[in-house]
Amino acid sequence: MKGNAETLLFSKEVAPFIIPKELVTVVKPDWTLDRALLVLTRRGQNSVPVINDENQIEGVISKTNILDHLYELSREKENELDFSKLNQFQVHEAMDLNHSGILSNSIFSFAFEILVNRSYIPIIDIRNQFLGILTRRVMMEKVIEYFHGEYLQTLADPV
């Protein structure tokens, strides 16, 4: 039974664990960096997906991306960080392009490996439409449930 339960969990599709796009904070690529930073700060997010007008993921933007962009600008001109300049730049100029999405029918183990280094993964459909996100927290909760169930099963098994 143990092997079967493990196989079931790690070969299960991630679709049931997705946070739908309607509940996800997103920004547009043409928004100014000050607007994006305000959204990130007010929503208490470190990073959010960047979604274009065709509902496709273009990347992610984080507070760190924005600050790094501002830092690079100040270094070029040998100035201090000038936050008033954030309204002169758009999200697409500072976003991380290395965060493509995965399909909603991807298996748990594949998503789990990706989430080792990310806090979430954008989820897309076959037409590259943004569906939502899959978070590391949700995946970890499922793994904890699995191991908790396994532990309870070992207590119930006769010696």
> How far is residue 132's CA from residue 121's CA, in Å, rounded to a whole number?
9
C-alpha pair distances (Å), 119 with each of 22, 45, 77, 78: 19, 11, 34, 34
Q: Tell me the DSSP string of 29-70.
A: TTSBHHHHHHHHHHHT-SEEEEE-TTS-EEEEEEHHHHHHHH
Predicted confidence (pLDDT) per residue in 60-93, tens digit:
999 999 999 999 888 766 677 788 889 999 999 9
The DSSP bridge partners found for residue 57 are 51
Task: Give pLDDT tens digits for 96-132.
Answer: 998 778 999 999 999 999 999 899 999 999 999 999 9
